[in-house]
């Protein structure tokens, strides 16, 4: 069995910077492009820094690799003039809003949403998408559910704003998605597969620890069903979030699962297992292109049911990062 995907996109990707960028960027090269997260230190808040970062990514991908970089700015309250400047900057995709302190490098995020509203109004008028890390500061298992009322209020107040719920992890978020036409969502690989039990039910698995934390079996099952049934406003966003091995295998483990190098093979394996390979193109590209009006460059990637061994470690440039399924086999792979 095999499937050829046209221009697969990763709608939520962390590529980091410096040596880690050099190590991980080429590992996303089977994708035609990705939405690049801005949570560097310091975060990418200005078009100039965004262009420079995009250029560093281009260099890190390698000269012969064409990769569409849909760049985001870390949300700060912006004036109309600043938004116009962003929109006129090549490669600009949208703004990513983090509640202050909610995840890795988000200390400079939003603490009072009311102060963001004038910017949101402008974004609505200008057609700039808002990507949101939707978690409250409540109990860790309830953070996404508690944030749904914020999404609901935003969706009502700004009915033309393209509002993307990033890395959703609950059945409740899917229900909300169906309530509002102006909502869309990304979902990661790991949240289609694992629950909290896989993270902390037995021996603690630091490499499966991420924000939002994996939830209950019913949540995972609902997300998987939505993906394999071809939900039209659900898009693949890996949220592949590499951290140095020493920061994961540590007391005070950093949040993030590194999935970029195995995401497409594992997705093909899952969709094939469920007899849903015909839905994979929409999930990894078609929905995103339709929702956001993207026109990625033409790139074909063929996946087949020939096993791949996932390396136990990716190491180069003095960096080490451990992928999901390290040292294990996946029953699909990219055909050379």
Report, as residue numbers or ranges, the catalytic residues: 239
Residue 56's Cβ-side half-sphere holds a number of Cα atoms within 13 Å equal to 19
| Closest to Zn ion by CB, 12 or 233 | 12
Residue 300 bridge partners (DSSP): 6
**28-87 binders of ligand NCD (CB under 6 A):** 39
Cα separations in angstroms, 256 against 108, 158, 238, 242: 19, 31, 11, 6
Among 211, 215, 220, 233, binds ligand NCD (CB under 6 A): 211
| Closest to ligand NCD by CB, 18 or 62 | 18
Nearest of 109, 17, 88 to residue 59 by alpha carbon: 17
**85 burial type by CB count under 10 A (0-12 exposed, 13-18 middle, 19+ buried):** middle
| Closest to Zn ion by CB, 53 or 332 | 53
Q: Which helix (H) or strand (E) holds 325?
A: none
| Closest to Zn ion by CB, 124 or 166 | 166
Shortest spacing between CB 234 and Zn ion, in angstroms? 16
Shortest spacing between CB 191 and ligand NCD, in angstroms? 10
Q: Are 10 and 263 in contact (CB under 8 A)?
A: yes
Shortest spacing between CB 18 and Zn ion, in angstroms? 18
Among 7, 45, 54, 104, binds ligand NCD (CB under 6 A): 104
39 binds, among Zn ion, ligand NCD, none (CB under 5 to 8 A by kind): ligand NCD
User: Whole-angstrom distance between the N-terminal and C-terminal Cα of the chain?
Assistant: 15
Contacting residues for 125 by C-beta, under 8 A, at least 6 apart: 160
| Closest to Zn ion by CB, 68 or 239 | 239
**242-261 binders of ligand NCD (CB under 6 A):** 255-256
104 binds, among ligand NCD, Zn ion, none (CB under 5 to 8 A by kind): ligand NCD
What string marks each residue from 228 to 267 as x (binds Zn ion by CB under 5 A) or -? -----------x----------------------------
Helix (H, G, I), strand (E, B) or coil at 248: helix
Shortest spacing between CB 20 and ligand NCD, in angstroms? 11
When asked if residue 241 is in the footprint of ligand NCD (CB under 6 A), the reply is yes
When asked if residue 144 is in the footprint of Zn ion (CB under 5 A), the reply is no
Percent helix, strand and coil across the chain, each to the nearest 5: 40, 20, 40
Residue with tokens 């939830």: 215
Helix (H, G, I), strand (E, B) or coil at 112: coil
When asked if residue 135 is in the footprint of Zn ion (CB under 5 A), the reply is no
Nearest of 71, 62, 1, 14 to residue 263 by alpha carbon: 14
Among 133, 207, 215, 248, binds ligand NCD (CB under 6 A): 133
Nearest of 221, 148, 155, 227 to residue 186 by alpha carbon: 227
| Closest to Zn ion by CB, 219 or 239 | 239
Query: What residues line the site for ligand NCD (CB under 6 A)?
Result: 14, 39, 103-104, 133, 210-211, 239, 241, 255-256
């Amino acid at each position: 069995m095999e499937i050829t995907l046209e221009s697969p996109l990763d709608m939520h990707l962390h590529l980091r910077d410096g040596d880690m960028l050099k190590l991980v960027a080429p590992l996303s090269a089977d994708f035609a492009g990705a939405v690049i997260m801005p949570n560097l230190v310091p975060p990418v808040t200005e078009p100039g820094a965004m262009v420079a970062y995009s250029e560093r990514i281009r260099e890190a991908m390698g000269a012969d690799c064409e990769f569409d970089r849909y760049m985001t700015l870390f949300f700060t309250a912006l004036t109309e003039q600043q938004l116009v400047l962003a929109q006129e900057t090549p490669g600009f995709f949208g703004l990513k809003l983090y509640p202050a302190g909610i995840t890795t490098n988000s200390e400079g995020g939003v603490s009072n949403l009311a102060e963001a509203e004038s910017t949101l109004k402008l974004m609505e008028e200008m057609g700039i998408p808002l990507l949101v890390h939707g978690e409250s500061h409540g109990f860790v298992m309830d953070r996404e559910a508690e944030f749904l009322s914020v999404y609901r209020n935003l969706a009502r107040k700004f009915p033309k704003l393209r509002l993307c719920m990033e890395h959703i992890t609950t059945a409740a978020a899917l229900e909300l998605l169906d309530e509002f036409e102006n909502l869309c969502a990304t979902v990661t690989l790991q949240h289609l597969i694992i629950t909290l039990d896989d993270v902390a039910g037995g021996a603690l698995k630091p490499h499966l620890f991420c924000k939002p934390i994996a939830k209950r079996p019913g949540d995972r099952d609902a997300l998987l069903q939505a993906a394999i049934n071809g939900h039209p406003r659900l898009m693949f966003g890996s949220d592949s979030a590499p951290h140095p091995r020493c920061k994961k295998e540590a007391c005070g483990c950093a949040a993030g699962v590194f999935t970029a190098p195995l995401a497409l093979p594992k997705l093909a394996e899952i969709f094939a297992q469920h007899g849903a390979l015909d839905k994979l193109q929409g999930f990894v590209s078609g929905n995103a292109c339709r929702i956001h009006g993207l026109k990625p460059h033409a790139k074909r990637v063929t996946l087949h049911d020939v096993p791949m061994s996932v390396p136990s470690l990716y190491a180069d440039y003095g960096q080490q990062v451990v992928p999901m399924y390290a040292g294990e086999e996946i029953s699909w792979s990219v055909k050379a």
